[in-house]
Structure 1
Amino acid sequence: MPLHPELDKKLSKSFEPSTRIDDVFKGYDITFVTNENGEPVRLYFGKRRPDGLIAGEYYTRTIKREPDGVAVKSSHWDLRGKIMR
């Protein structure tokens, strides 16, 4: 299941490296984790519980780089499953 185009656009930006960011998107709670380059690589999407964790869906991002090792050649998000904890 692909991400909403607006969410994909939001997650294509760079953020602070190696951090966790809690946010809201169209009424859903989201949390994403960035890699050492500040690119989101893990996404939790759903409803935030009182303990701060999200019950919903978990996605991971695959990034392919240009031969220079810096520029992103392509990337895509894969649905990894439901989080019901």
Structure 2
Amino acid sequence: MKIGAALMKHLVKKYEPSSLISFTFNRYDVALKTDEDGNPVLMFIGKANERGIIKGDQFTRRLLKDAAGVVVKDHWDYKGKV
């Protein structure tokens, strides 16, 4: 699965720091874990079961910042099925 432009609009937003955010995108359930700055760094996308556990794909975000805190590299890596 690739991350499309419409989903990337959700992934560039700032959320509550160090939290788990869940929402529905098209026909998929999405869960995002955020870092201490509120940036999504871990994403699970697929179908959630009755306990809320998502079976689908996992992505991790690689944020590389310089000494001033400016983002130099921002990339999502596919980590496989969960």
TM-score by length of 1: 0.89
Aligned structure 1 segments of 4 or more residues deviating by more than 3 angstroms: none
Is 1:78 the equivalent of 2:82?
A: no
Counterpart for residue 22 of structure 2: 22
Q: Percent identity?
A: 37
Report the residue type matching 1:58 in the other structure.
Q
Structure 2's unaligned 5+ residue stretches are: none
Distance 1:71 1:53 in 2: 34
Identify the residue that residue 48 of structure 1 maps to in structure 2: 48
Secondary structure at the counterpart of residue 7 of structure 2: helix
Contact 1:2 1:77 in 2 (8 A): no
Q: CA RMSD in A?
A: 1.2
**How many residue pairs are counted as aligned between the two chains?**
82
TM-score of the two chains, using structure 2 as the length reference: 0.92
The 2-side partners of 1:46 and 1:19 are apart by: 19
Which structure would you say has the larger RCO, counting Cα contacts within 8 Å and 6 or more residues apart? 1
Q: Distance in 2 between matches of 1:23 and 1:73?
A: 28
1:9 has 2:9 as partner: yes
